[in-house]
Amino acid sequence: MTGFVRDMARVLTMRCREHVVLFSRQLDTPLSRGEAFGLRVHVLYCGGCRRFREHLVHLASLGRELAAQSGREPGLPADVRTRIYARVATATKKN
């Protein structure tokens, strides 16, 4: 219980700039219960962070949708990677 309260209090005392890291991290891994609750409370009264979170969630969903529509494996195609490696090798030889 003390971990929950400690995490919540830490999140509630953060500056908005620091919440950006939590919003991003929340997309990849679950936050602790205290962090998640503190973030929800902060978003209730902070319109800027609420809009940022909405934009971040929207961008993530667009990325997933685009990946699903393309039907391709993640990453660059092999021919593109080969061209990039060749250019990098040429550029490093010149320097």
Gap between the Cα atoms of 8 and 57, Å rounded: 22
For the chain, report the end-to-end CA distance as a whole number of angstroms: 58
Residue-wise pLDDT tens digits, 26-83: 888 899 999 999 999 999 999 999 999 999 989 888 888 877 777 766 667 788 888 9
3-state DSSP call for residue 73? Answer: coil
Residue 21 has which token pair?
A: 């890291």
Domain boundaries, the chain: 2-94
* Res. 94 pLDDT band, cuts 50 70 90: low
* DSSP conformational letter for 74: S
Residue 79 has which token pair?
A: 């021919």
pLDDT attached to residue 53:
92
Q: What are phi and psi of 14, to 5 degrees?
A: -75, 155
